[in-house]
Amino acid sequence: MDIIRQYIEQIRPLDEQAMEAAQRRLDSLTKPPGSLGKLEAVARQVAGMTGSYETGKAGEGILGKKAVIVMAGDHGVCEEGISAFPQEVTPQMVQNFLNGGAAVNVLARHAGAEVICVDMGVCADMDHPGLVNRKIRKGTSNMAKGPAMSKQEAAQAVQAGFELVGGLADQGFRLFATGEMGIGNTTASSALLSVLAGIGPDQAAGRGTGIDDATWQHKQDVIRRVIEANRPDPHDPLDVLAKLGGFEIAGLVGVILGAAARRCPIVIDGFISSAAALVAARIAPLSVGYMLASHLSREQGHGKLLEAIGLAPMIHMDMRLGEGTGAVLCFHLVEAAMKIINEMATFESAGVSKG
């Protein structure tokens, strides 16, 4: 797909000089070298993304405005009985996001971030002034019987996410998080992990919204059937995404690539967001430099997913919700890291003796 090739070409490696300057600055601050651990690593990485550690001039936040992009879509594979909740919860939760009552809304308000809610393929007619409509189709096809999406639909969803982030960057947004809503999407994400990382469904699939033992075994069988029915090519990430993904997952792939193309940090949420991140990493390996993994979800397989991308999570909070909740929580840490590198006194300015 030509458009995706163009996106890949827009993603540049991290700026090594800016990272070295950040490291020198970190080592000049009034603390033993390296003593702020991952906060220092985050500050250095963000400097590599943006080209300088000297942020804070943008006004709204130390990096600029911040947004969590919550993409929603339904999944045909729900017909197979793989979730503890019915499909109508997807549009009901979208309404909840729009009313400001979901967990991600509360945490986004706490972090001073906007929630951008996007209909990528919800199985209902949604009409609300606050909802971004990028609906590809009302729900994917049942991937236990054939491809979830056509390759063209998957590319269209990636394009929607990429363009959305570009538009937000034009409005001064500089720090992004991924979020999603879609009953059944842990099944799609587990199937993506299984094929892209070569892990059996018994290791790749977790309990999602909280299924019992029998349903968990059944979910693994469904994933085996899904892979058998589609035979995706593990070396063709767009093929895997189209056959086993979802509209919201494909949209998030575009969001991640779009943030990387704009040299903005993209904080990755839990299991489903990380499945999108793995697809993005396989499409454009340089995009990994712009990713910050937020938390380690309780969902089985999340650790392996992050390992396959080469990311380490910032926090362990025993969360397993999605929506972008863990990622938004980590906005505080990313901003804290940038404040440390910009605002701390140096040994010289504070007159503190070096060791």
Ligand X SMILES: Cc1cc2ncn([C@H]3O[C@H](COP(=O)(O)O)[C@@H](O)[C@H]3O)c2cc1C
Ligand Y SMILES: O=C(O)c1cccnc1
Nearest-CB residue for ligand Y:
270
Looking only at residues 224 through 253 of this chain, which bind ligand Y when binding is defined by CB under 6 A? none
Query: Counting contacts by CB under 6 A, is residue 342 touching ligand Y?
Result: no
Query: Counting contacts by CB under 6 A, is residue 257 touching ligand X?
Result: no
Name which of 262 and 302 has its Cβ closer to ligand Y. 302
Report the alpha-carbon distance of residue 186 to residue 297 in Å, rounded: 12
Query: Counting contacts by CB under 6 A, is residue 320 touching ligand Y?
Result: yes
Name which of 89 and 229 has its Cβ closer to ligand Y. 89
Asked whether 64 and 171 are in contact (CB, 8 A), the reply is no
Q: Please work out the total of residues on this chain that contact ligand X, with binding judged by CB under 6 A.
A: 18
Which partner, ligand X, ligand Y, none, binds residue 70 by CB below 5 to 8 Å per kind? none
Asked whether 203 and 301 are in contact (CB, 8 A), the reply is yes
Output the smallest distance, CB 296 to ligand X, in A.
Answer: 16
Instruction: Pick from 186, 187, 230, 287 the residue near ligand Y by CB under 6 A.
Output: 186
Bridge partners, 63 (sequence order)? none
Using CB atoms within 10 Å of the CB of residue 129, give its burial: 0 to 12 exposed, 13 to 18 middle, 19+ buried. exposed
Query: Counting contacts by CB under 6 A, is residue 270 touching ligand Y?
Result: yes
Start-to-end Cα distance in the chain? 56
> Which H or E run includes 51?
none
Instruction: Choose one: 80-88, 138-146, 229-237, 336-344; the region binding ligand X (CB under 6 A).
Output: 80-88
User: Interior CA angle at 266 toward 263 and 267, to 5°?
Assistant: 155
Instruction: Pick from 156, 159, 186, 230 the residue near ligand X by CB under 6 A.
Output: 186
Structure tokens that stand for 123 in this block: 């199985």
Query: Counting contacts by CB under 6 A, is residue 119 touching ligand X?
Result: no
Per-position x/- string for 84-103, each x denoting binding to ligand X as judged by CB under 6 A, each - no binding? xx---x---x----------
Report the alpha-carbon distance of residue 299 to residue 93 in Å, rounded: 20
Which of these, 333, 341, 293, lies nearest to 107 by C-alpha position?
333
Instruction: Pick from 104, 168, 268, 272 the residue near ligand Y by CB under 6 A.
Output: 272
Which partner, ligand Y, ligand X, none, binds residue 201 by CB below 5 to 8 Å per kind? none
Encode 69-104 in three state secondary structure: EEEEECCHHHHHCCCCCCCCHHHHHHHHHHHCCCHH
Q: What are the residue numbers of the active site?
A: 323
Structure tokens that stand for 266 in this block: 């993209």
Name which of 30 and 95 has its Cβ closer to ligand X. 95
Instruction: Choose one: 36-44, 49-57, 264-272, 309-317; the region binding ligand Y (CB under 6 A).
Output: 264-272
Asked whether 211 and 77 are in contact (CB, 8 A), the reply is no
Report the alpha-carbon distance of residue 65 to residue 175 in Å, rounded: 7
Asked whether 275 and 180 are in contact (CB, 8 A), the reply is no
Which partner, ligand Y, ligand X, none, binds residue 184 by CB below 5 to 8 Å per kind? ligand X
Output the smallest distance, CB 299 to ligand Y, in A.
Answer: 4
Query: Counting contacts by CB under 6 A, is residue 97 touching ligand Y?
Result: no
Output the smallest distance, CB 348 to ligand X, in A.
Answer: 49
Which of these, 329, 330, 321, lies nearest to 302 by C-alpha position?
321
Output the smallest distance, CB 225 to ligand X, in A.
Answer: 16
Which of these, 250, 93, 274, 245, lies nearest to 177 by C-alpha position?
274
Residues that bind ligand Y (CB under 6 A): 186, 208-209, 269-272, 297, 299, 302, 320-322
| Interface with ligand X (CB under 6 A) | 83-85, 89, 93, 180-187, 208-209, 321-323
